Amino acid sequence: METPAEAGRQSGRLESLDIFRGATIAGMLLVNNAGDWDHVFGPLRHAEWHGCTATDLIFPFFLFITGTSMALSFAKRRARGAGTRELLAHTVRRSLLLVLLGLALNALAYLAFRSDYLRYPGVLQRIGVCYLLASLVFLFHGTRGILVWTGVLLAGYWAMITLIPVPGFGRPDLSQQGNLASWLDSTVFGPHCYIWDARTGAGHDPEGLLSTLPAVGTTLLGCLAGVVLRDARAAAASRVSGLMLAGAALTTAGLLWSLSFPLNKNLWTSSYVLFTAGCALLALGALHLFVDVLQQRGWGLPFRVYGLNPITAYVGASAMAYCTILIRLPLAAGETIPLKKWVYQTLYASWIPGVASDYWSSAAYGFTYVVVWCALMWLLYRRRIFIRI
């Protein structure tokens, strides 16, 4: 009987890309599900503003992978006879589904945290919008157009965010209030932003409107990686070296640009785009060498089961996390406690801090999420159930 791995190889799927995608999803689950947010290891936190931690690599990696997958998927669909109109219809439908799923998760978070306002932007919403806009560039402008549009988006965003005065603030200084992206999010979304100060009427959203433009650039750079990987005429060594050299160049360029335009995930600065895309290229190049070329696959199976059902894992784990906060267990004197807090205190905080520390206890809770959802995705993988949207 044909195994899922054999089926993937025969269909032309790149297992390195599946593993990369799965590792990124596993990272998302780990950093999004700390047991105690007051005790989180530094690498598992986002940078407060300027800077880039390991956690700040996760979301751009996923957008980069989205672009890479797009280039490979569109090539396969065209080989089967799909035209531009069919590909565009598929893209629009998928983008809308991602946005709707993101809004549904936001609604669940609104109920779980008993928020005053429903947040509109979000991770899946940004993925959906970036996927749509990058697809339009890819379908109608080709590889050369991808290069041009990426340059325009990154240079244009740099000019807007550093040169245009911020209404009510003046000369931009890239602080949380002193930048055009935060002003636009505050103006359009108001208290529906991720961060909102009712006293000053200022807010910020890390998945806001203006910062989506450079995020499209991240997706387009992923498309270029897909163009390299789908070139069957190129030798494997050429593909690997091309990815690695491009990765080193972009990482260096991002670091150099950060001297004047800091790395910042909240603003998705252009230097951050180059740096994180460079890191993604280095990781993908190394995985392509070991997994696809040298056939060293076995170690990556736990990540591959994530990578074949990424949206299912992300949405399911996020919904589960919100539900554990929404569900409350009764205590004495009529009080209640969120299910998450009860589980964390009973199974983790009751003994791990005595052996290690509160930080390890908090991380262990998140790691449990990764293991549990890996087991669930394994069941789908064994039954060859791959949920696409």
As to burial, measured by CB atoms within 10 angstroms (0-12 exposed, 13-18 middle, 19+ buried), residue 187 is middle
CA-derived radius of gyration, the chain: 21
361 CB neighbour count, 10 Å cutoff: 24
pTM of the model: 0.94
pLDDT tens-digit map of 174-200? 998 899 999 999 999 999 999 998 888
d(CA 287, CA 365) in angstroms, rounded, equals 28
Over 90: is that where the pLDDT of 271 sits? yes
Report DSSP letters for 231-249, one per residue: -TTS-HHHHHHHHHHHHHH
Q: Which residue has the higher pLDDT, 92 or 389?
A: 92
d(CA 247, CA 32) in angstroms, rounded, equals 27
Residue 96: predicted pLDDT: 97
Over 70: is that where the pLDDT of 11 sits? no
Which range among 81-85, 301-305, 319-323, 339-343 shows the weakest confidence by mean pLDDT?
81-85
Over 80: is that where the pLDDT of 7 sits? no
| Average pLDDT of the chain, as a whole number | 93
Q: How confident is the model at residue 5 (pLDDT cuts 50, 70, 90)?
A: very low
Residue 2: predicted pLDDT: 37
Percent of the chain with pLDDT strictly greater than 90? 86
Residues composing the chain: 389
336-338 and 328-330 strand pairing: antiparallel
DSSP one-letter code for 50: S
Residue 112: predicted pLDDT: 93
Is residue 131 within 8 Å of 119, Cβ to Cβ? no
**Domain locations in the chain?**
1-45+306-389, 46-295
Over 90: is that where the pLDDT of 13 sits? no
Among candidate residues 224, 59, 209, the one with its CA nearest the CA of residue 134? 224
Position 229, amino acid: L
d(CA 207, CA 193) in angstroms, rounded, equals 9
Q: How confident is the model at residue 3 (pLDDT cuts 50, 70, 90)?
A: very low
24 CB neighbour count, 10 Å cutoff: 25
d(CA 95, CA 108) in angstroms, rounded, equals 20
Q: How confident is the model at residue 4 (pLDDT cuts 50, 70, 90)?
A: very low
Residue 40: predicted pLDDT: 96
Q: How many CA atoms lie within 13 A of 339 on its CB side?
A: 10
Is residue 149 within 8 Å of 137, Cβ to Cβ? yes
pLDDT tens-digit map of 108-165? 999 999 888 999 999 999 999 999 999 999 999 989 999 999 999 999 999 999 999 9
Residue 389: predicted pLDDT: 80
Q: Is 146 helix (H, G, I), strand (E, B) or coil?
A: helix
Over 70: is that where the pLDDT of 224 sits? yes
Mean pLDDT of 47-70: 97
Residue 131: predicted pLDDT: 98
Residue 318: predicted pLDDT: 97
Mean pLDDT of 89-108: 96
Residue 231: predicted pLDDT: 82
